[in-house]
């Protein structure tokens, strides 16, 4: 483990972010959103040339919208009417066997009014462009001290934080930075992770891959079709970039074949055509073992994004990484500002690592379908048979932010999941997003920190908000009488976290389905006895509300999950 040289720290920072890729940038801007300053060290002075990620889902965009970044991303992405389709083909000169719409497209289905649809549509955007734009925002932000050309080389944990070593690449000058918290957002080959000696846990043996970023207007690649995103053919995944004539081909490379083979020959060999490739823009190699770090935290140091989980590049969603950055960002801000307790930061790993493990399983299934498709094509399977297999196997359903089902900082209640109504106010899930009668989005009315969404006729939740604010806990009181909200939000009092997940709720079920839903659920929430008798002022005076705040903000160690159901 590289150890910091014994220098006096020349810089001090509450949070040191290592890496200004998409994840480091979003983390820094999440901190700034809560008024917390940070230092970001980034070894490169320009964004990487290889495009990396290609698509932000509606949920990813929804999280960026909170930070005021959605419009910026749209301006630099592919036009909004460009869908993200997946074409399954036996060969480039053969019509598609099946065209699947990817998950984000379904996310955006306008017909759903159950609160599950993100307030933003998916956006295709090159990772390079995203990183470039986010970095420009960091440069101009008064709460972000961005040091470009500074490379992290080692760290030493010490009382109250860590001393971090960085080197200025251009001059060779070394610096020691003292930070209370360090966030390793330095990508798949994370030096921070290696310094912590945190191993990656792979799923199965690694296979070699090569990604070729190229420009080609060859007519056998249907460039220019806005709806086209990805073609699966001959074991190769070819992704059009930015709707133009740039492409990325992800090729599996057999173990007996050198990865150094001429990339153009490799592409042509796999596509079976004399593909015209006038320009190779970049080549990267990677192994395809989907790996998740065994720990996300060691003392004051955290792993975030690709540093914490290395997924297959052909996965087209960056939600897992964006979710990490937002989660850690608001929790660090809460602790630094005093409205988060000592247990809050431990919940980062408890909430985010399971998400990576679950996403990895979904991805594994998707990748196996791609491999099976190739094997079936090679075996001579006909079009109809192939289409039938794909229809059965392709699942591009969205996890839509997932749920936190085992979090120590969610006040769960005893209502079971309703498979017919996936979007409810059940604690742990993403809050339902609805458009209000005046045309605004409920999500845009949530405060930056916590929000008590109050659907009682007279705004009866006010004493809870006052009691929280008196403790220095920023809670916005959002009193709504809007019928659209009442139709979907099935409890009158709901506490929403900065990341739009539900932390707690109380009161009798509301809305059109209210009376039926209360039957059998006990009609209780938040440990307040009969729902009808729920009295916010009394709840606050009796200490129940403070117990809720203590738990959801990590001021007390979590009991077992069941212990805070109707406690
Ligand atoms: C070939 C390829 C194709 C991909 N395709 C897709 C895709 O289609 N869809 C998708 O969702 N994802 C894709 N990815 C993954 C995508 O790039 C990541 O999801 C995304 O970039 C994660 O962002 P990050 O900020 O965690 O890491 P990165 O984007 O890797 O950013 C890490 C940053 O840390 C900096 N850094 C590293 N080490 C140090 C250090 N020691 N000191 C200071 N700074 C440091 C780097 O310069 C970089 O700016 C692909 C990746 C590759 C390699």
The domain containing residue 522 runs over which residues?
442-564
Burial 163-191 (b: 16+ CB within 10 A, else e): bbbbbbeeeeeebbbbbbbbbbbbbbebb
Question: Do 158 and 60 share a domain, yes or no?
Answer: yes
What's the 45 CA to ligand 1 centre distance in angstroms? 15
Any ligand 1 atom below 6 A from CB of 327 = no
Question: Do 171 and 72 share a domain, yes or no?
Answer: yes
Is pTM, for the whole model, over 0.85? yes
Residue 519 pLDDT greater than 60, yes or no: no
Any ligand 1 atom below 6 A from CB of 40 = no
What's the 190 CA to ligand 1 centre distance in angstroms? 10
Question: Do 145 and 32 share a domain, yes or no?
Answer: yes
Question: Do 50 and 171 share a domain, yes or no?
Answer: yes
What's the 20 CA to ligand 1 centre distance in angstroms? 9
Q: How do residues 90-139 score in pLDDT, each as one tens digit?
A: 887 888 898 876 544 444 444 457 788 889 988 888 888 899 999 999 99
Is residue 279 included in any domain, yes or no? Answer: no
Question: Do 33 and 130 share a domain, yes or no?
Answer: yes
Of 316, 345, 360, which residue constitutes the final position of a domain?
A: 360
Is residue 194 included in any domain, yes or no? Answer: yes
Residue 49 pLDDT greater than 80, yes or no: no
Residue 388 pLDDT greater than 60, yes or no: yes
Ligand 1 closest atom vs CA 307 = 26
Q: pLDDT at position 94, please? A: 84
What's the 133 CA to ligand 1 centre distance in angstroms? 15
- Mean pLDDT of the 518-524 span: 34
Q: Which of 18, 30, 47, 53, when mutated, tests ligand 1's pocket best, judged by the most ligand atoms within 8 Å of its CB?
A: 53
Question: Do 335 and 448 share a domain, yes or no?
Answer: no
Q: Which of 248, 313, 356, 370, when mutated, tests ligand 1's pocket best, judged by the most ligand atoms within 8 Å of its CB?
A: 313
Q: pLDDT at position 562, please? A: 44
CATH of the domain at 189: 3.50.50.60
Residue 81 confidence class, pLDDT cut points 50, 70, 90: low
Residue 523 pLDDT greater than 60, yes or no: no
In the chain, how many domains are there? Answer: 2
Q: pLDDT at position 212, please? A: 84
CA separation for the pair 325, 69 (Å, rounded): 14
Any ligand 1 atom below 6 A from CB of 319 = no
Ligand 1 closest atom vs CA 311 = 15
What's the 188 CA to ligand 1 centre distance in angstroms? 7
CA separation for the pair 223, 461 (Å, rounded): 55
Q: How do residues 278-298 score in pLDDT, each as one tens digit?
A: 688 888 888 777 899 999 999
Any ligand 1 atom below 6 A from CB of 51 = no
Is residue 408 included in any domain, yes or no? Answer: no
Ligand 1 closest atom vs CA 316 = 9
Strand ranges, E, within 55-173: 55-56, 85-88, 98-101, 123-124, 144-148, 150-158, 161-168
- Mean pLDDT of the 319-346 span: 96
Question: Do 23 and 169 share a domain, yes or no?
Answer: yes
Is residue 422 included in any domain, yes or no? Answer: no
DSSP codes of every residue in 371-411:
HHHHHHHHTT--HHHHHHHHHHH------TT---SS-TT--
Q: pLDDT at position 533, please? A: 67
Is residue 476 included in any domain, yes or no? Answer: yes
Q: How do residues 343-374 score in pLDDT, each as one tens digit?
A: 999 999 999 999 999 888 888 888 888 888 98
Q: pLDDT at position 3, please? A: 45
- Mean pLDDT of the 59-73 span: 95
Q: pLDDT at position 225, please? A: 52
What's the 484 CA to ligand 1 centre distance in angstroms? 40
8 A C-beta contact, residue 138 and residue 20: yes
Percent over 90 (pLDDT), the chain: 52
Of 360, 386, 401, which residue constitutes the final position of a domain?
A: 360
Q: Which of 186, 323, 327, when mutated, tests ligand 1's pocket best, judged by the most ligand atoms within 8 Å of its CB?
A: 186
Of 327, 344, 360, which residue constitutes the final position of a domain?
A: 360
State both tokens at 396: 């591009």
CATH of the domain at 457: 3.40.30
Is residue 527 included in any domain, yes or no? Answer: yes
Q: pLDDT at position 102, please? A: 57
Question: Do 20 and 128 share a domain, yes or no?
Answer: yes
Is residue 87 included in any domain, yes or no? Answer: no
Is residue 376 included in any domain, yes or no? Answer: no
Mean pLDDT, the chain, whole residue set = 84
């Amino acid at each position: 483990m590289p150890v910091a040289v014994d220098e006096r720290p020349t810089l001090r920072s509450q949070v040191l972010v290592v890496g200004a890729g998409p994840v480091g940038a979003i983390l820094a801007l999440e901190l700034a959103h809560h008024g917390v300053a940070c230092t970001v060290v980034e070894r490169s002075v320009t964004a990487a040339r290889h495009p990396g990620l290609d698509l932000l889902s509606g949920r990813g965009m929804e999280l960026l919208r909170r930070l005021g970044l959605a419009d910026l991303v749209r301006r630099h992405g592919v036009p909004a009417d460009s869908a993200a389709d997946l074409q399954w083909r036996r060969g480039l000169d053969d019509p598609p066997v099946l065209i699947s719409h990817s998950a984000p497209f379904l996310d955006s289905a306008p017909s759903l009014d159950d609160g599950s649809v993100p307030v933003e549509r998916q956006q295709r955007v090159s990772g390079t462009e995203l990183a470039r734009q986010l970095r420009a925002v960091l440069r101009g932000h008064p709460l972000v001290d961005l040091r470009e050309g500074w490379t992290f080389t080692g760290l030493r944990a010490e009382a109250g934080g860590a001393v971090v070593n960085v080197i200025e690449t251009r001059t060779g000058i070394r610096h020691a930075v003292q930070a209370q918290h360090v966030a390793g957002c330095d990508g798949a080959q994370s030096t921070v992770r290696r310094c912590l000696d945190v191993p990656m846990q792979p799923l199965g043996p690694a296979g070699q891959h090569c990604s070729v970023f190229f420009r080609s207007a060859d007519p056998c690649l249907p460039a220019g079709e806005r709806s086209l995103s990805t073609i699966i053919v001959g074991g190769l995944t070819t992704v059009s970039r930015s709707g133009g004539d740039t492409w990325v081909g992800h090729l599996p490379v057999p173990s007996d074949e050198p990865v150094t083979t001429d990339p153009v020959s490799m592409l042509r060999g796999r596509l079976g055509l004399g593909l015209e490739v006038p320009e190779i823009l970049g080549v990267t190699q990677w192994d395809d073992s989907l790996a998740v770090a065994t720990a996300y935290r060691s003392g004051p140091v955290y792993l975030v994004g690709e540093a914490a989980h290395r997924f297959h590049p052909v996965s087209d969603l960056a939600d897992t990484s964006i979710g990490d950055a937002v989660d850690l960002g608001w929790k660090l801000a809460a602790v630094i500002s005093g409205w988060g307790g000592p247990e809050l930061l431990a919940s980062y790993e408890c909430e985010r690592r399971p998400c990576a493990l679950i996403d990895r399983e979904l991805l594994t299934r998707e990748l196996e379908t791609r491999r099976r498709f190739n094997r079936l094509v090679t075996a001579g399977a006909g079009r109809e048979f192939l289409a039938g297999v794909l229809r059965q196997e392709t699942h591009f359903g969205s996890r839509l932010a997932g749920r936190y089902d085992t979090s120590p900082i969610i006040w769960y209640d005893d209502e079971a999941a309703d498979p017919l109504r996936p979007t409810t106010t059940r604690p742990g899930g993403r809050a339902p997003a609805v458009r209000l009668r005046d045309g605004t989005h409920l999500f845009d009315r949530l405060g930056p920190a916590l929000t008590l969404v109050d659907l009682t006729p007279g705004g009866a939740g006010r004493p809870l908000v006052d009691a929280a604010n008196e403790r220095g806990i920023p809670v916005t009181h959002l009193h709504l009488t809007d019928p659209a909200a009442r139709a979907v939000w099935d409890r009158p009092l709901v506490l929403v976290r900065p990341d739009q997940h539900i932390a707690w709720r109380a009161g009798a079920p509301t809305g059109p389905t209210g009376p039926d839903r209360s039957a059998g659920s006990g009609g209780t929430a938040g440990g307040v006895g009969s729902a009808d008798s729920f009295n916010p002022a009394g709840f606050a005076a009796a200490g129940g509300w403070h117990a809720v705040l203590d738990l959801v903000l990590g001021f007390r160690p979590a009991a077992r999950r069941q212990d805070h159901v109707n406690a």
